[in-house]
Structure 1
Amino acid sequence: MKLVDIETVETGQTLGKTIFSSNGTVLLSKGVQLTVYMISTLKRLGVTTVYLDNPMYRDIPEDEVLNDETKRAVIHLMSETFESLRSGKAFNTKAVSQTVDEMLDEILKNQNMLVQLSDIRTEDNAMFMHAMNVCMISCLLGLNMGLNMIQLKELAIGALLHDIGKIGAPEEQEGRMHHAWRGFELIKNKREYSLLIAHVAFQHHESVDGSGAPRGLTGDDIHTYAKIAAVANVYDNLIYGTDGEAPLLPHEACERLNAMSGTRLDHEVLIQFMRIVSIYPNGISVRLTNRQIGVVVGQHRGLPGRPVVRILNKDGDEAVGFNEMDLAQHPTVFIESVLS
């Protein structure tokens, strides 16, 4: 599959990746031929890019940490959780714990895969996708940082629920009305949960230099779980775009994160994050410094900036014989730019 701008999609092209609705059901399935109505509906739902199927790229591994079934379950759970809160009811803590257990099982199996946020987000499913991604990234970070299973589950539940204070809250929040404080209040009295879980929601907007909210905590006063969730939260927001900002490409988002090291975000957590993220995800088109153009088809854990690139000829077709350049083996060749 190959990532393309929605404005370039033509009728009859084949969708390369499933798109989910707000309650976890399938909105459009991978493999469906796109119609004019489907394309216009995706645009109306706020979709800006899609993955298309292409015979040239069918062998490119998707390298998904979570499979589609798990994603559907998580999105459905978050939809039900947020709906319960909107109606003034308690959310189902047992269901959250069970879903987190399923996520952790899958994350443990795929812990050597790099983070590649390739799911297509709509205006309706954005909050649920965000919660899922922050949880998934946080768990991978926690594994990299040596957390045990009890700690990983606390972190995972806190990361999945980090934004529940936003439900029913006003747009502008200060002090005890900040959504982080509201989230803390919603979670802390759940007897099934450790108080540390509530502190993920409470502290994920704190900054290590004291400029964060809602309490202006600094350094070691911020729990490690919250420092981890903060990095995951900011990265996902940068990739998909929030508060009117345009979405960034992964390498651009990583540069922005590094600029926040020691101020907004914890330096040590960022070091670990750069070891688990794919700066140039599979399926994107790139131009190399040797002037060749290609599509990223493979990754190296620990070398996020040195993927495997399938070289295309001047007409944009795959070069004869699957000519691939492993940038880990070509230290003088770099990715010059990402092509739209």
Structure 2
Amino acid sequence: MRIVDIEAVESGQTLGKTIFSANGTVLLSAGVQLTVFMISTLKRLGVSTIYIDDPQFRDITPEEVLSDETKRAVINQMSETFEALRSGKDFSSKAIGQTIDQLMDDVMRNSSVMIQLADIRTADNAKFVHAMNVCTVATMLGLEMGLNMLQLKDLSIGALLHDIGKLNAPEVQEGRMHHAWRGFDLLKNKREYSLLIAHVAFQHHEAMDGTGLPRGITGDEIHPYAKIVAVANTFDNLLYPEAGVERSLLPHEACEQLNAMSGTILDHEVLTHFMRIVSIYPNGISVRLSNKKIGVVVGQHRGLPGRPIVRLLDREDENNVQAREIDLAQHTTIFIEAVLS
């Protein structure tokens, strides 16, 4: 399959990747043949890109850390958590813990998979997919950095709930309540949770140089879990910014932006580990190489995010197309010149 801009999707093409609703149920299943009405509905729901099942790239799938079952469970749990708080009720720490256990099992099982945030977002499910992605990336980062299982679970819960203070409290002008304070207040009163979980919500917008919120603390004053979640949160926000904020970045552009924040906004050590496990050019994305050949990324090398495997289609005539793959880790004089999708 390959990634296609929603504006370029045509009726009759086959959806390559399932799209979930805000409560974790399936909105559109992979394998469905798209109609004009479906495409129009996806646009109305705020979908910008989707995966298309292309016969020439049918064997290519984005590497998944989480199973569809786990994704449904996480999105549904976040929906239930937000609904409980919106209704003035408490949320279930036990249910959150069980969902995190399921997510951690997937991360442990797929620890060699590189980070590719490929799930399709709608306006309704965006905040839940964001929470899921930040949690997944933070958990993978914590594992990469050698955290033990107890530490990893605290980090994962904190990452999943890092924006819980945003509920019913949108960002307001400086000097009034910041959502980090509200998130801290909500979580520090959960007796089942370590106080460190609350500090993830409290500190994930702090900056290494003291320019962050809400307290302007610096360096070692920021807890390591919050530093990890800050990287995961910033990366996902760069890929999928809130409506009206700024344009979304492609993964390689987002990584360049993260590196520009190293040591000032974000922790350098955490970023070093992140760059080892992120896929800068995800499977399914179309690229133009420096030799002017156009192809689709089909494989990755852990630790070499900028040197993926690219499948080229050489058209000999109208009826004969030859596919060949070029491994950029082996062909060091060729590089990716542009991303086309």
Q: TM-score range by the shorter chain?
A: over 0.9
**What is the match of residue 332 of structure 1?**
333
Change (3 A) 1:315 1:29: farther
**Corresponding residue pairs, total:** 340
Conserved 8 A contact 2:135-2:156: yes
Shift of 1:177: 1.5
**What is the match of residue 199 of structure 2?**
199
Q: Which amino acid aligns with 2:340?
A: L
Q: CA RMSD in A?
A: 1.6
C-alpha separation in 1, matches of 2:297 and 2:149 = 34
**What is the match of residue 258 of structure 1?**
259
Change (3 A) 1:23 1:312: same
**What is the match of residue 313 of structure 2?**
312
Shift of 1:244: 2.1
Shift of 1:205: 0.3
**What is the match of residue 46 of structure 2?**
46
Conserved 8 A contact 1:209-1:263: yes
C-alpha separation in 1, matches of 2:320 and 2:72 = 37
Conserved 8 A contact 1:289-1:333: yes
Q: What TM-score, normalized to structure 2?
A: 0.97
C-alpha separation in 2, matches of 1:174 and 1:159 = 24
Shift of 1:58: 1.2
CA deviation profile, 1:59-82 (whole Å, cap 9, x unmatched): 113210001110000000000000
Range that drifts further, 172-181 or 289-298: 172-181
C-alpha separation in 2, matches of 1:198 and 1:160 = 11
**What is the match of residue 116 of structure 1?**
116
Conserved 8 A contact 1:277-1:304: yes
SS across alignment from 2:211: coil
Change (3 A) 1:41 1:235: same
Are residue 298 (structure 1) and residue 299 (structure 2) matched?
A: yes
Conserved 8 A contact 1:278-1:304: yes
C-alpha separation in 1, matches of 2:319 and 2:99 = 41
Shift of 1:338: 0.5
CA deviation profile, 1:155-194 (whole Å, cap 9, x unmatched): 0000000000000104315457110010000000111100
Determine what percentage of the aligned residue pairs are the same residue.
72
C-alpha separation in 2, matches of 1:315 and 1:265 = 49
Instruction: Structure 1 unaligned segments of length 5 or more: list them.
Output: none
User: Matches of residues 1-340 of structure 1 in structure 2 within 5 Å?
Assistant: 1-172=1-172, 174=174, 177-242=177-242, 243-313=244-314, 320=321, 322-340=323-341
CA deviation profile, 1:131-152 (whole Å, cap 9, x unmatched): 0000000011001111000000
Conserved 8 A contact 1:24-1:72: yes
C-alpha separation in 1, matches of 2:317 and 2:303 = 30
Range that drifts further, 237-246 or 183-192: 237-246
Instruction: Structure 2 unaligned segments of length 5 or more: list them.
Output: none
Q: Which amino acid aligns with 1:246?
A: R
Conserved 8 A contact 1:107-1:136: yes
Shift of 1:93: 0.6
C-alpha separation in 1, matches of 2:66 and 2:292 = 35
C-alpha separation in 1, matches of 2:170 and 2:310 = 46
Q: Which amino acid aligns with 1:98?
A: Q
SS across alignment from 1:297: strand
Q: Which amino acid aligns with 1:231?
A: V
C-alpha separation in 2, matches of 1:178 and 1:87 = 21
Shift of 1:110: 0.4
Change (3 A) 1:316 1:140: farther
Q: What TM-score, normalized to structure 1?
A: 0.97
SS across alignment from 1:328: coil
